[in-house]
Amino acid sequence: MPEVSLVCILDADKEGFLRSDRSLIQTIGRAARHINGRAILYADKETGSMTRALAETERRRNKQLAFNEANGITPKGIHKSVQDILEGARRMPTKAKGGKSRAAGDRAVLSAEVGNLTPAALGRKIADMEQRMFEHAKNLEFEEAAALRDEVAELKQVAFAG
Protein backbone atom coordinates (compact mmCIF):
# COMPACT_ATOMS: atom_id res chain seq x y z
CA MET A 1 0.00 0.00 0.00
CA PRO A 2 1.48 3.37 -0.92
CA GLU A 3 2.05 6.19 1.52
CA VAL A 4 -0.72 8.77 1.85
CA SER A 5 -0.59 12.37 2.98
CA LEU A 6 -3.85 12.43 4.96
CA VAL A 7 -5.61 9.81 7.07
CA CYS A 8 -8.87 10.63 8.85
CA ILE A 9 -10.31 8.19 11.36
CA LEU A 10 -13.97 8.85 12.05
CA ASP A 11 -15.44 7.75 15.38
CA ALA A 12 -11.96 7.02 16.70
CA ASP A 13 -13.41 6.72 20.21
CA LYS A 14 -15.56 3.71 19.29
CA GLU A 15 -13.67 0.80 20.85
CA GLY A 16 -13.36 -2.32 18.73
CA PHE A 17 -11.07 -4.19 16.37
CA LEU A 18 -10.59 -1.32 13.91
CA ARG A 19 -10.12 1.18 16.74
CA SER A 20 -7.71 -0.85 18.87
CA ASP A 21 -4.33 0.69 19.62
CA ARG A 22 -2.60 -1.63 17.13
CA SER A 23 -5.05 -0.81 14.34
CA LEU A 24 -4.79 2.91 15.06
CA ILE A 25 -0.97 2.73 15.03
CA GLN A 26 -1.02 0.94 11.68
CA THR A 27 -3.51 3.39 10.16
CA ILE A 28 -1.65 6.44 11.48
CA GLY A 29 1.56 4.90 10.10
CA ARG A 30 0.20 5.20 6.55
CA ALA A 31 0.41 8.97 6.86
CA ALA A 32 3.62 8.92 8.91
CA ARG A 33 5.50 7.58 5.89
CA HIS A 34 4.68 10.72 3.90
CA ILE A 35 6.96 13.74 4.34
CA ASN A 36 3.97 16.02 5.01
CA GLY A 37 1.65 13.32 6.34
CA ARG A 38 -1.18 14.06 8.76
CA ALA A 39 -3.51 11.80 10.70
CA ILE A 40 -6.73 13.24 12.11
CA LEU A 41 -8.72 11.28 14.67
CA TYR A 42 -12.30 12.45 15.17
CA ALA A 43 -13.70 11.55 18.60
CA ASP A 44 -15.88 12.86 21.42
CA LYS A 45 -13.46 11.59 24.07
CA GLU A 46 -9.96 10.14 24.15
CA THR A 47 -9.99 6.39 24.78
CA GLY A 48 -7.22 4.24 26.19
CA SER A 49 -6.52 2.85 22.72
CA MET A 50 -6.15 6.36 21.34
CA THR A 51 -3.84 7.38 24.18
CA ARG A 52 -1.62 4.32 23.68
CA ALA A 53 -1.56 4.76 19.88
CA LEU A 54 -0.64 8.43 20.13
CA ALA A 55 2.04 7.70 22.75
CA GLU A 56 3.56 4.97 20.56
CA THR A 57 3.45 7.22 17.50
CA GLU A 58 5.21 9.97 19.46
CA ARG A 59 7.83 7.51 20.76
CA ARG A 60 8.54 6.29 17.23
CA ARG A 61 8.70 9.85 15.89
CA ASN A 62 11.21 10.88 18.57
CA LYS A 63 13.32 7.78 17.92
CA GLN A 64 13.36 8.49 14.17
CA LEU A 65 14.23 12.17 14.69
CA ALA A 66 17.10 11.23 17.02
CA PHE A 67 18.37 8.68 14.48
CA ASN A 68 18.15 11.20 11.64
CA GLU A 69 20.01 13.83 13.66
CA ALA A 70 22.72 11.40 14.79
CA ASN A 71 23.32 10.25 11.22
CA GLY A 72 22.90 13.58 9.42
CA ILE A 73 19.82 12.45 7.50
CA THR A 74 17.38 14.96 6.04
CA PRO A 75 14.07 13.31 5.17
CA LYS A 76 12.87 13.78 1.61
CA GLY A 77 9.90 12.41 -0.26
CA ILE A 78 9.97 9.97 -3.11
CA HIS A 79 8.27 10.49 -6.43
CA LYS A 80 6.69 7.52 -8.17
CA SER A 81 4.22 7.31 -10.97
CA VAL A 82 0.91 5.55 -10.40
CA GLN A 83 2.22 2.69 -12.54
CA ASP A 84 5.19 2.22 -10.15
CA ILE A 85 2.85 2.14 -7.15
CA LEU A 86 0.57 -0.43 -8.78
CA GLU A 87 3.60 -2.56 -9.63
CA GLY A 88 4.37 -2.82 -5.90
CA ALA A 89 0.84 -4.05 -5.18
CA ARG A 90 1.46 -7.29 -7.04
CA ARG A 91 2.59 -10.28 -5.02
CA MET A 92 6.33 -10.26 -4.59
CA PRO A 93 8.28 -13.51 -5.11
CA THR A 94 8.82 -15.29 -1.82
CA LYS A 95 12.23 -15.71 -0.25
CA ALA A 96 13.83 -19.10 -0.12
CA LYS A 97 16.30 -20.07 2.60
CA GLY A 98 19.36 -17.84 2.42
CA GLY A 99 17.29 -14.79 1.40
CA LYS A 100 17.30 -15.56 -2.33
CA SER A 101 14.14 -14.97 -4.29
CA ARG A 102 12.33 -18.14 -5.36
CA ALA A 103 11.75 -17.99 -9.12
CA ALA A 104 9.03 -19.90 -10.95
CA GLY A 105 11.68 -22.33 -12.24
CA ASP A 106 12.57 -23.28 -8.67
CA ARG A 107 9.19 -24.98 -8.25
CA ALA A 108 10.84 -28.28 -9.14
CA VAL A 109 13.32 -27.80 -6.28
CA LEU A 110 10.49 -26.96 -3.89
CA SER A 111 8.51 -29.94 -5.17
CA ALA A 112 11.50 -32.20 -4.46
CA GLU A 113 11.82 -30.74 -0.95
CA VAL A 114 8.13 -31.37 -0.31
CA GLY A 115 8.42 -34.90 -1.77
CA ASN A 116 11.08 -35.76 0.81
CA LEU A 117 8.77 -34.88 3.71
CA THR A 118 6.27 -37.22 5.29
CA PRO A 119 2.71 -35.86 5.51
CA ALA A 120 3.20 -35.36 9.27
CA ALA A 121 6.49 -33.49 8.74
CA LEU A 122 4.88 -31.34 6.05
CA GLY A 123 2.03 -30.51 8.43
CA ARG A 124 4.50 -29.57 11.18
CA LYS A 125 6.50 -27.41 8.75
CA ILE A 126 3.38 -25.52 7.62
CA ALA A 127 2.15 -25.13 11.21
CA ASP A 128 5.57 -23.80 12.28
CA MET A 129 5.67 -21.31 9.40
CA GLU A 130 2.11 -20.14 10.17
CA GLN A 131 2.99 -19.73 13.86
CA ARG A 132 6.01 -17.58 12.91
CA MET A 133 3.81 -15.60 10.51
CA PHE A 134 1.28 -14.85 13.28
CA GLU A 135 4.09 -13.92 15.66
CA HIS A 136 5.48 -11.43 13.13
CA ALA A 137 2.00 -9.95 12.62
CA LYS A 138 1.49 -9.70 16.39
CA ASN A 139 4.78 -7.75 16.61
CA LEU A 140 3.65 -5.44 13.77
CA GLU A 141 6.32 -6.89 11.44
CA PHE A 142 3.97 -7.03 8.48
CA GLU A 143 6.55 -7.44 5.71
CA GLU A 144 7.98 -10.54 7.38
CA ALA A 145 4.48 -11.89 8.03
CA ALA A 146 3.50 -11.34 4.39
CA ALA A 147 6.65 -13.09 3.15
CA LEU A 148 5.88 -16.12 5.33
CA ARG A 149 2.24 -16.05 4.18
CA ASP A 150 3.42 -16.21 0.57
CA GLU A 151 5.85 -19.04 1.36
CA VAL A 152 3.10 -21.04 3.07
CA ALA A 153 0.77 -20.48 0.10
CA GLU A 154 3.47 -21.59 -2.34
CA LEU A 155 4.31 -24.63 -0.21
CA LYS A 156 0.64 -25.63 -0.03
CA GLN A 157 0.26 -25.10 -3.76
CA VAL A 158 3.17 -27.40 -4.53
CA ALA A 159 2.25 -29.97 -1.88
CA PHE A 160 -1.47 -30.25 -2.57
CA ALA A 161 -1.69 -29.53 -6.31
CA GLY A 162 -2.61 -32.74 -7.91
Residue 31 in any domain: the answer is: yes
Residue 94 scores a pLDDT above 50 = no
Euclidean distance between CA atoms 24 and 53, whole angstroms: 6
Are 34 and 95 members of one domain?
no
CA 158 from chain centre, in angstroms, equals 25
How confident is the model over 26-70, as pLDDT tens digits?
888 888 888 888 999 999 999 999 999 999 999 999 999 999 999
pTM of the entire predicted model: 0.48
Please name which of 37, 77, 43 lies closest in space to residue 57, comparing C-alpha atoms.
37
- CA torsion 51→52→54→58, rounded to 10°? 130
Euclidean distance between CA atoms 127 and 112, whole angstroms: 20
**Can you give the residue range of the structural domain that contains 27?**
6-70
Euclidean distance between CA atoms 110 and 125, whole angstroms: 13
Are 65 and 101 members of one domain?
no
pLDDT confidence tier of residue 87, bands split at 50, 70 and 90: low
Give the sign of the dihedral formed by CA 121, CA 125, CA 130, CA 135.
positive
Q: What is the CATH number of the domain that holds 46?
A: 3.40.50.300
132 CB-near residues (< 8 Å, 6+ apart)? 148
Residue 13 in any domain: the answer is: yes
pLDDT at residue number 69: 94
Name the burial class of residue 143, with classes exposed (0-12), middle (13-18) and buried (19+) by CB atoms within 10 angstroms of its CB: exposed
Q: What is the mean pLDDT of residues 85-113?
A: 56
Q: How many domains does the chain have?
A: 2
Listed residues 38, 70, 102: the one ending a domain: 70
